Structure 1
């Protein structure tokens, strides 16, 4: 079941539980006991459906925050503006389960060190966000080409505005990176989530030439042994999992 649908069912279950307890007279009067029971029921339902842990936290605070927001006297237009802002930044994250992650300078330097010296290559960043990785790599390796694909409008627009400052070797496109051809690339970089990694590897095997690299930040490919694991050494203890495509199969 998609996570968004799980969340909807959990919320419905939470409200059904709260109304049932209230109707039976098992809750004290007032809005807060009702909201508390709804939060408890929704969190329990989400846990029963094996939702991700961060969804449990959302269910635990959703109804209480609704009560707080309703009593704060904030104009409805501000809620609409906040929703619109989140929409243009995160776009289809609820469906793809890929949040916005930004690669830091240490990671950019480590990835640049993997690129072959003295030979220009093409690098594709899956879900390139604001383009910080592309710009950092372009400064370190001006002889190479760096492309990014980003679905969310706001990060894509920002990356397009900033790309010319880093040089002409950067191209950023808005769209679905699974719908793009990966065949022209020597290195594919992914900082996504555990959910799409199996699909990423399947597409890499289908389209990348032997010798091409798939570098995944933090999330290994399920069931595949990486050819190399790079410890970046930053504050968040970033690991880069490196997989080489060899005749359509990974080394094991």
Structure 2
């Protein structure tokens, strides 16, 4: 190998390493600014959600709170092409990345605070958020979603409410399914 080729390969390697470090640094800064960690959902968690969504009717709108890189919504519309996905994400970088990664699919990613954005019209709302957020999820769902809409929370239940069912996969984090009408009945 000539010296010129070796130098070019070394420069390319350095550029790739700097780009990866910059991406990780921006994610860390995003965590500091938004106080919301990005934890990519495992394939087991996605499988639990997909199982819970059955059957998903034509024209269904699935909203994901904290959509990260869009992998969950991509799996939803790949399995249910009749559905539309909307990702709500606080991190501008992750929103941008999700938009690029999911071009051409029936997906929309918004850089917003998921608790300030409207959920009206959603058939399903999914989240993998920290426990302090669960009561916020319940309150907003009760205010804005139709009685037949469903809420799925991965890892953490909504305090004080009994889920319609719990979907567990191989000792992984459970996925809790709630129907908004049932949530209203138990809140009264």
User: Where on the TM-score scale, by shorter chain, does this alignment land: which range?
Assistant: 0.7 to 0.9
- 1:201 is matched with 138
- 1:239 is matched with 174
Contact 2:56–2:80 (CA under 8 A) maintained in structure 1: no
Mark the CA change 1:92 to 1:113 in structure 2 (over 3 Å): closer, same or farther: same
1:163 aligns with 2:102: yes
Superposed, 1:55-70 pairs within 5 Å as none
- Highest RCO, 1 vs 2 (Cα 8 Å, sep ≥ 6): 2
- Give the structure with higher Rg (CA): 1
**Of 110, 129, 146, which aligns to 1:192?**
129
Q: How many residues align?
A: 168
1:171-215 deviation per Cα after TM superposition (whole angstroms, max 9, x unaligned)? 111111111111110100010101111111100000000011110
Mark the CA change 1:242 to 1:154 in structure 2 (over 3 Å): closer, same or farther: same
3-state SS, counterpart of residue 133 of structure 1:
helix
When the two structures are superposed, what TM-score results if normalisation uses the length of structure 1?
0.60
Displacement after TM superposition at 1:108 (Å): 1.9
**Of 157, 161, 165, which aligns to 1:224?**
161
When the two structures are superposed, what TM-score results if normalisation uses the length of structure 2?
0.78
Mark the CA change 1:198 to 1:93 in structure 2 (over 3 Å): closer, same or farther: farther
1:108 aligns with 2:46: yes
Displacement after TM superposition at 1:113 (Å): 2.3
- 2:7 is matched with none
Unaligned runs of 5+ residues in structure 2 are 1-18
Contact 1:227–1:251 (CA under 8 A) maintained in structure 2: no
